[in-house]
Structure 1
Amino acid sequence: MSQTFGRSRLAAILSAVTIGAALYVTAGTARAEDSVSEDQILQALAPAKKAPLTRGLSLGPQTPQADPGATAAEAKFVQTIRGRTSRSLSATEREEIATIAKAKPNIDLEITFDYNSAEISQKSLPLVQSLGRALTNADLKGSTFIVAGHTDAAGSEAYNQDLSERRADSIKRYLMDKYAIAAGDLVTVGYGKSKLKDPSHPLAEVNRRVQVVNMENKTTAAK
């Protein structure tokens, strides 16, 4: 009887160890998948390839062509904000950036900062470094990038606006210092809590993010 009980207890212990090991591996895999790689950032920010011009009729659906006037106006506007500080942008200019950015390649990155601070947290440094490597890739180098800071809904509008600007500026300084990206190629803007990614959960972590947008416009970028 005691031998049977002993074998059952041993089997239970081995089963628990096996399940625990499986959960550890699964959790490790999930954490690895949660990180955003340099290649993922590169793919998200790569400009859409333009379809080659062809003669003759096309039987497939036609893709609307961009309005040359609108494109020229966008390029002119981007030129006016290059080299500006986030604090110098008016509310109207911030909204115009947001409107143009909707149609541009972009990616949301969950970059965290020290509490009540614009210092990038140690755990987010690898993600910022992946961003730096992606932005200096030959496929993206020379584009004008928007670095937009967002907060959750906790705190006043003025406090969150200031915090989002300082955090965006902190990322810009890091990218300039560590990856020699030209200051004019990085335009920082803060939106505070005005553009929640998940309005139904205003305090959710997903709202505390940095959005990077490729405005392209390489003709005006620093060489």
Structure 2
Amino acid sequence: MTSISRLSGFTAIALGAALSMTAGLAVAGEVVSADQISRALQSKPLTRGLSAGPQQIDTATQAKETKFVDSLRNRNTRSLSLGEREEIAQIASSKPKIDLEIRFDYNSAEISKDSTQAVQELGKALSQPNLKGQTFVVAGHTDAVGTDEYNQGLSERRADTIKRYLVEKYALNGSDLVTVGYGESKPKDANAPMDPANRRVQVVNMETKTAASQ
């Protein structure tokens, strides 16, 4: 990444994006509470049915998704193939997610001190009974400043940092946190690929609950 994007000494990222297909960002500088995160990441029950509807799910598709996500547990972030990364993105597109503003130290994957609280709130949320034990994807994204290779690696390291913090500080099961990096390949704003808004880590609840399981 160039010095143009580093004048502040920090690089901002955002974690994930609102409920279901709706995207949204936390207000800049605002720390989203654990309860707000918990509500956004809460999976909604889906009913079984032969016809496709907003609250219906094909059981064969559900089984396939679950098998795929289970195959990713304990995988090294860098070991994921392009095809696997794309399949994660496709499944995650319809799942609950949330955005949080996180800052990292200059040219680094270390969380800055002024963003520690935001990650702590995430840890508290994922520790709540309604979310603990479910499977979450932590997906890193960057803007388009810098080379593809550098940005890919940076997005992976930052996703890894979030996971490590959650495991070490909140005793979350590492196998429940799947990390993936997308570099600059999936900008939040495709019309402005160098915009800081594209620097984010997306957290997605990959669980699917059917009415029968409630």
Give your verdict on TM over 0.5. yes
Taking the aligned partners of 2:30 and 2:166, their CA distance within structure 1 comes to 22
Taking the aligned partners of 2:170 and 2:40, their CA distance within structure 1 comes to 20
How far 1:34 moved relative to its partner? Answer: 2.7
Runs (5+) with no aligned partner, structure 1: 1-29, 54-61, 219-223
How far 1:160 moved relative to its partner? Answer: 0.1
Taking the aligned partners of 1:170 and 1:69, their CA distance within structure 2 comes to 34
Instruction: Tell me the equivalent position of 1:77.
Output: 68
Instruction: Tell me the equivalent position of 2:43.
Output: 47
Residue 181 of structure 2, aligned match among 182, 187, 190: 190
Residues 110 and 208 in structure 1, CA contact (< 8 A), matched pair in contact too: no
TM-score (ref. length: structure 2)? 0.79
Runs (5+) with no aligned partner, structure 2: 1-25, 210-214
How far 1:107 moved relative to its partner? Answer: 1.3
Change (3 A) 1:148 1:52: closer
Residues 144 and 217 in structure 1, CA contact (< 8 A), matched pair in contact too: no
How far 1:39 moved relative to its partner? Answer: 1.4
Instruction: Tell me the equivalent position of 1:104.
Output: 95
How far 1:69 moved relative to its partner? Answer: 0.6
Instruction: Tell me the equivalent position of 1:56.
Output: none
Taking the aligned partners of 2:47 and 2:111, their CA distance within structure 1 comes to 40
Residues 148 and 191 in structure 1, CA contact (< 8 A), matched pair in contact too: yes
Q: Deviations over 1:156-211 (max 9, x none)?
A: 00000000000100111100000000110111100000010012222222111110
Which stretch of the first structure deviates more once superposed, 106-115 or 32-41?
Answer: 32-41
Partner secondary structure for residue 197 of structure 1: coil
Taking the aligned partners of 1:73 and 1:43, their CA distance within structure 2 comes to 26
Q: Deviations over 1:107-159 (max 9, x none)?
A: 12221101110100111110000000000100001011100111111000000
Residue 165 of structure 2, aligned match among 165, 170, 174: 174
Residues 29 and 101 in structure 2, CA contact (< 8 A), matched pair in contact too: no
RMSD of equivalent CA atoms: 2.2
Instruction: Tell me the equivalent position of 2:16.
Output: none
Residue 118 of structure 1, aligned match among 102, 109, 112: 109
Residue 135 of structure 1, aligned match among 123, 126, 129: 126
Greater Rg over alpha carbons, structure: 1
| Alignment length (residue pairs) | 181
Taking the aligned partners of 2:199 and 2:124, their CA distance within structure 1 comes to 23
Greater fraction of residues in helix = 1
Partner secondary structure for residue 35 of structure 1: coil
Instruction: Tell me the equivalent position of 1:36.
Output: 32
How far 1:38 moved relative to its partner? Answer: 1.0
How far 1:88 moved relative to its partner? Answer: 0.8
Taking the aligned partners of 2:162 and 2:27, their CA distance within structure 1 comes to 23
TM-score (ref. length: structure 1)? 0.76
Greater fraction of residues in strand = 2
Runs of 4+, deviation exceeding 4 Å: 30-33, 50-53
Q: Deviations over 1:72-130 (max 9, x none)?
A: 00000011001111111101000000000001111122211011101001111100000
Taking the aligned partners of 1:33 and 1:153, their CA distance within structure 2 comes to 23
Taking the aligned partners of 1:31 and 1:65, their CA distance within structure 2 comes to 33
